[in-house]
Amino acid sequence: MAGGSIRVYVPCDAAALSVGADDVAASIRREADRRKIDVEIIRNGSRGMLWLEPLVEVETGNGRLAYGPVAEGDVASLFDGDFLSGGDHALAHGVTEEIAYFAMQERVTFARCGVIDPLSLADFEAHGGLVGLRKALVMAPTEIVGVVTASGLRGRGGAGFPTGIKWNTALEQPGGEKYICCNADEGDSGTFADRMLMEGDPFSLLEGMAIAARAVGASTGYVYLRSEYPHAIKTMRRAVDVWRKAGLLGENIEGSDTSFDIHIRVGAGAYICGEESAMLESLEGKRGEAKVKPPIPAISGLFGKPTIVNNVLTLATTPFILAKGAAHYKNFGVGRSRGTQPFQLAGDIARGGLVEKAFGVTLRELVEDFGGGARSGKPIRAVQAGGPLGAYIPTRDFDVAMDYEALAKAGAMLGHGGVVVFNDTVDMARQARFAMEFCEIESCGKCTPCRIGSVRGKETIDKIIASENRAENLEVLDDLCDLMTEASLCAMGGLTPMPVQSAVKHFPEDFGG
Amino acid sequence: MAALIDKLEHAPARLICGRHDNRPDALLEILHEAQAAEGWLSDDALRTIADALNISRAEIHGVVSFYHDYKREAPAKLAIKLCRAEACQAVGSEALAAYVEKKWNAPSGGKSADGEIQLEAVYCLGNCALGPSGMIDGELFGRVTPERLDALIEQRIEKMERE
């Protein structure tokens, strides 16, 4: 330990801040000064064990020791209990990485998150950063695309499209301006993995974008970040500055023939801008309206140029794939779902947080083994998986494997990996109504099935709730859902029926069945 | 008599546009900055932006009215956002919102009678494991209870009164 100072980690992740991490850090500083102890406070990202936030860690000869959730008022007693030398305390959890929740995970994309100082390039490199990009910079674009394709990586934004195939399409387009657009418009309720990564390991995203740029021949990148994430915006902007100063952005990166720059753009509170064509419109300064495909963005995207649109997690995983090889990554997972997925446990759950696991883990393992059941102590009734457009899954189906194919077979979807737990007080008819209402609020309005269908859907569910011609109205609702599914322009209108129809199917008793 | 000629020039908006090289594709950023400066987007600011970017006022209106973030009237002194999406619903956000509406006499999506408090519904603040979540003047709070929210609001009102 340099200079004899003791290193203490207090996360600066937004979730930790939301429960007082700044006050805890200030309190530790004050208490250390008062006791004349040389303490260095490092503001790391979150380890993802969010129920323990603010999670304070002390670096010792036996590894980093965890204390949490620490309130401002606990700090004096932590010092009294000599937590700086690993002293026991009611809030002590032992070695952070030995906590079962953490130890049972397979951290790939999130390997550095919560470990390092997010804006320290030295920390980043000391933990394997830049290895992937440096390899890519001496590889031919086709080789890079080949590795990504062979890894089996699929888009983590929700659609699950094979990343290598997308990159190859953009690579095959004639030269000239091409763009890398990172979709960081993480609007799904129950998801926060993109935010956590951007706040905890922002360089991994920049590294992935630079690899993508090299692979397809792009010279400009954009990160489209939602305005609801002020902390992530701040961290990403600083990260871009650090990279530019270090010569990792700009002309001829590290002496290669790749020149690439990245701009951070902030959305303005529109869920639909997480849909790629709407996001590109928004990046052009327009209303975020979905567009008809084809042409696909890889052929004609931003400003009509070939454009890669990838989610934060997709891009941030490519450095690992380049560094360790396609086979290593492909070894994780099952069937056609290769690699790991950062799942996010949310809602009424005892141990909410981020769980990165190979595909194939069951929903029950996530909710019960990791999550520890409902925070309220009430029985669990349902999980909504995959965000507001995902299905409600009843407890009897919790043995479903969490991979693209198994979930699709069960009439559900993985989406961005969100798992929202509801206890037995939930009224599924209200949840179905909310799905329609949310679509009404957030529809871009371009296509009729989504714009009007959502309004009619909400009205019809209101009639069902009011016991007005229930049987007939359930039939109308089903018909309307089919129409929205088949005829909407994008996933907003096309998938809104998924939570509605799954709620009706699995919980008919809430609809007067 | 109402002015027949538009009052066009809004110097701060003109400056902001200039910083973005008057590029129409930077419109969202320009609107964010103009709104950050004044708290809302005035007619004059929008006219000046349209002029600087050489796009029609109709196009600007289309964009401003599309996005939830942009405000066309002066905000209340204290802006409270409560997450109303599923993960927060699962831990009681609806009851919390109803409590705030009643206690502070501020309807969701509107302002309190005295114009001091504004309550907005948002759909996800990315704090879904620590709900219910809220944001007060840009600061994020998790595990929000009625008592904690009241205390936070009172603190800020006191602070505003001191200033």
- Tokens linked to B51: 């002029």
pLDDT of residue A197: 98
CA of A273 vs chain B CAs: smallest distance (Å): 10
Question: Residues of A numbered 93-132 whose beta carbons fall under 8 angstroms of chain B's beta carbons: which are they?
Answer: none
Task: Decide: helix, strand or coil at residue A49.
Answer: strand
Q: Give how far B26 is from chain A: nearest CA, Å.
A: 6
Q: What share of chain A is helix, strand, coil (3-state, %, to 5)?
A: 45, 15, 35
**pLDDT grade for A4, boundaries at 50, 70 and 90:** confident
Q: Which CATH architecture has domain A334-423?
A: Roll (3.10)
Confidence of residue B112 (pLDDT cuts 50, 70, 90): confident
- Say whether pLDDT at B1 is over 70: no
Task: Classify domain B78-162 by CATH number.
Answer: 3.40.30.10
Superfamily of domain A2-103: Glutaredoxin (3.40.30.10)
Gap from A54 CA to chain B (nearest CA, Å):
11
Q: What are phi and psi of B77, to 5 degrees?
A: -65, -35
| pLDDT tops 70 at residue A188 | yes
CATH code that applies to domain A121-330? 3.40.50.11540
Residue A3 binned pLDDT confidence (cut-offs 50, 70, 90): low
Confidence of residue B5 (pLDDT cuts 50, 70, 90): low
The pair of structure tokens assigned to A455 is 């309004």
**Could you give the CA distance from residue A110 to residue A257 in angstroms, rounded to a whole number?**
30
DSSP label of A162:
B
Residue of B32, B68, B133 lying closest to A270 (CB–CB): B68
**Probe site for chain B from A181, A233, A420 (most B CB atoms < 10 A):** A420
What digits encode the pLDDT tens for the residues A330-388?
A: 999 999 999 999 999 999 999 999 999 999 999 999 999 999 999 999 999 999 999 99
Taken as a whole, chain B contains a residue count of: 163
Query: Could you give the CA distance from residue A258 to residue A403 in angstroms, rounded to a whole number?
Result: 36
Spell out the CATH class of A428-511.
mainly alpha
Of A190, A229, A269, the CB nearest to B67: A269
List chain A domain ranges: 2-103, 121-330, 334-423, 428-511
Cβ neighbours of A271 in B, within 8 Å: 123
- pLDDT value for A258: 97
d(CA B66, CA B75): 18
- What is the reported pLDDT for A445? 97
pLDDT one-digit tens code per residue, A411-464? 999 999 999 999 999 999 999 999 999 999 999 999 999 999 999 999 999 999
Q: What is the pLDDT of residue A1?
A: 42
Identity at A414, one-letter amino acid code: L
pLDDT band of B163, cuts 50, 70, 90:
confident
Q: Which residues in chain A are closer than 8 Å to B87, comparing Cβ atoms?
A: 189-190, 346-347, 418, 420
Contact A186 B126 (CB under 8 A): yes
Q: pTM value?
A: 0.97
Collect all residues of chain B within an 8 Å Cβ-Cβ radius of residue A266: 28-29, 32
* B62 contact A CB<8A: yes
Q: Do A384 and B122 touch (CB under 8 A)?
A: no
- 3-state SS class at A388: coil
Average per-residue pLDDT for chain B: 93
**What's chain A's length in residues?**
513
Could you say which DSSP state residue A369 is in? I
* pLDDT score recorded for residue B60: 97
Band (pLDDT 50/70/90 cuts) for residue A261 is very high
Span of A89-93, A251-255, B104-108, B124-128 with lowest mean pLDDT? B104-108
Provide the pLDDT confidence category of residue B111 given band limits of 50, 70 and 90: confident
Residue (of A325, A353, A323, A328) closest to A340 by Cα position = A328
Give the mean model confidence (pLDDT) for residues A241-270: 97
Q: What is the pLDDT of residue A512?
A: 86
Tell me which chain B residues have a C-beta less than 8 angstroms from the C-beta of A353: 129
Q: How many angstroms separate the CA atoms of A309 and B52, rounded?
A: 30
The letter for the amino acid at A371 is: G
Share of chain A above pLDDT 70, in %: 99
Distance from the A410 Cα atom to the nearest Cα atom in chain B, whole angstroms: 21
Question: Which alpha helices (DSSP H) does A412-512 contain, by range?
Answer: 428-442, 448-465, 470-487, 491-495, 497-506
B117 token code pair:
């408090």
Average pLDDT on A227-235 reads 98
Residue of B nearest to A303 (CA): B25
Nearest to B87 by CA among A348, A19, A499: A348
- Over 70: is that where the pLDDT of A309 sits? yes
- Say whether pLDDT at A513 is over 70: no
> What Rg do the C-alpha atoms of chain A give, in angstroms?
23
Q: What pLDDT score does A24 carry?
A: 98
Write the pLDDT tens digit of every residue in B24-66.
Answer: 999 999 999 999 999 999 999 999 999 999 999 999 999 999 9
pLDDT of A2 higher than 50:
no
Spatial separation of the C-alpha atoms in residues A61 and A262, rounded to whole Å: 40
Helix (H, G, I), strand (E, B) or coil at A325: coil
